[in-house]
């Protein structure tokens, strides 16, 4: 059988979700709106629906979240278990686009990058309103 990069399980998505949940209160205290995490079941038939209830997903890939701030700033992240993420942002002014998100080695690596992406898009959490 040929190696399929989509089947690699580099990042534990449940662990990544738990690490994001640890940050939600801090993000919300800084004035950010954090949407519900979404899950997609790799084994589901196309079109694969997004679920907000992890219990409805047998084989998760990816895990997603949208974070919004003032001036319409937004960060959209979809973490794939293969060790990369689709990360797009709009800073509410004139800066927007994808952010580099490859070679994610673990859930902890992903959490550290989330912290960096949040600061990149919304600024220091102490200054977000």
Q: What is the pLDDT of residues 34-65, one digit of tens each?
A: 999 999 999 999 999 999 999 999 999 999 99
Instruction: Return the higher-pLDDT residue of 8 and 100.
Output: 100
CA nearest to 13, candidates 32, 41, 48, 34: 41
Q: Would you say residue 101 lies in a domain?
A: yes
Cross-strand bridge partners of residue 33:
68
Q: Please provide the average confidence, as pLDDT, over all residues in the chain.
A: 91
Domain count, the chain: 1
If residue 110 lies in a helix (H) or strand (E), which one and from where to where? Answer: helix 107-122
Q: Would you say residue 35 lies in a domain?
A: yes
Distance from chain centroid for Cα 67: 9
Domain that residue 57 falls in: 13-122
CA angle 96, 101, 106 (to 5 degrees): 145
Q: Would you say residue 102 lies in a domain?
A: yes
Q: Would you say residue 3 lies in a domain?
A: no
- Residue 44 has phi, psi (to 5 degrees) of -70, 150
| Contact criterion met (CB below 8 Å) for 41 and 60 | yes
Report the share of the chain in percent with pLDDT over 90. 80
Residue 78 has pLDDT above 50, yes or no: yes
Instruction: Return the higher-pLDDT residue of 8 and 74.
Output: 74
Q: Would you say residue 31 lies in a domain?
A: yes
Q: Would you say residue 103 lies in a domain?
A: yes
Q: Would you say residue 81 lies in a domain?
A: yes
d(CA 109, CA 42): 23
d(CA 114, CA 120): 10
pTM value is 0.88
Q: Would you say residue 38 lies in a domain?
A: yes
**Is 27 buried (19+), middle (13-18) or exposed (0-12) by CB count in 10 A?**
buried
């Amino acid at each position: 059988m040929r190696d399929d990069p989509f089947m690699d399980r580099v990042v534990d998505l449940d662990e990544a979700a738990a690490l994001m949940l640890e940050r939600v209160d801090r993000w919300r205290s800084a004035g950010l709106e954090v949407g519900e995490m979404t899950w997609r079941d790799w084994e589901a038939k196309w079109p694969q629906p997004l679920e907000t209830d992890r219990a409805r997903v047998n084989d998760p890939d990816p895990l997603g979240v949208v974070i919004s701030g003032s001036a319409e700033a937004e960060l959209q992240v979809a973490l794939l278990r293969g060790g990369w993420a689709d990360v797009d942002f709009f800073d509410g002014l004139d800066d927007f686009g994808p952010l580099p998100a490859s070679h994610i080695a673990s859930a902890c690596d992903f959490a550290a990058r989330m912290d960096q992406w949040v600061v990149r898009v919304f600024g220091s959490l102490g200054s977000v309103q």
